[in-house]
């Protein structure tokens, strides 16, 4: 079954995890309809926020979430629309 899901990620230590995050997003790129990335340098902390709008098979989006949650330094939340 196809579903739409909003995925929000808080990226800590952005400079350390950005390559792994980008590779993961590229691997699942067919699911991503829109992406917004915010770089937040807050009091010397290297953080970012990434918001994804996804659409695809339930299993494929679950695989994307599983991949993202394996990356140390990223907090992942999702909302099914």
In this prediction, residue 42 carries a pLDDT of: 67
Q: What is the pLDDT of residue 14?
A: 82
Domains in the chain, CATH or no CATH each: 2-80 (3.30.70.1150)
Per-residue tens of pLDDT for the chain, all 81 residues: 899 999 999 998 888 898 999 999 999 999 999 999 988 776 777 888 999 999 999 999 999 999 999 999 999 999 998
81 within 8 A of 19, measured Cβ to Cβ: no
Q: Tell me the whole-structure pTM to 2 decimals.
A: 0.90
What is the SS3 assignment for 7-49? EEEEEECHHHHHHHHHHHHHHCHHHEEEEEEEEEEECCEEEEE
Beta bridge partners of 11: 48, 74
Which residue, among 50, 61, 54, 75, has the nearest Cα to 6 in the 3D structure? 54
């Amino acid at each position: 079954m196809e579903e739409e899901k909003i995925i929000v990620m808080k990226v800590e230590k952005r400079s350390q995890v950005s390559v792994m995050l980008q590779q993961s997003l590229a691997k699942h790129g067919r699911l991503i309809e829109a992406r917004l990335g915010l770089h937040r340098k807050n009091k010397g902390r290297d953080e970012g926020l990434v918001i994804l709008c996804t659409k695809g098979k339930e299993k494929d989006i679950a695989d994307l979430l599983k991949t993202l949650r394996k990356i140390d330094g990223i907090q992942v939340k999702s909302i099914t629309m």
